[in-house]
Homo-oligomer: A and B are copies of this chain.
């Protein structure tokens, strides 16, 4: 059985779109949390408003396959980004050092 994977998704958020971006994230979190292999997620907000990435999502999934299947279903169910200028840069990771 493969080890869990970590999705890290840094978001560039236009200055006036923070609330809308959080609502967008919540809708997608609610969908993904129902999918097989979902383990946990944490949405981080930067303390410094000038940070490159004001929001970063860090989510744990049981496997790569689980995540990709859920992400495909999410795109079909929720469509693409509806918050103008919101730009994510998701990738899957494994913890290699602590």
Contact = CB atoms under 8 A, between A and B. Distances in A.
| Copies of the polypeptide in the assembly | 2
Interface residues of A, number: 32
Interface in A72-98: 89, 91-98
A42 interface: yes
B93 A47 contact: yes
Contacts of A48: 91-92
A60 to B, nearest CB: 11
Interface in A10-24: 10, 22
Contacts of A89: 52-53
A32 interface: no
Contacts of A92: 46-48
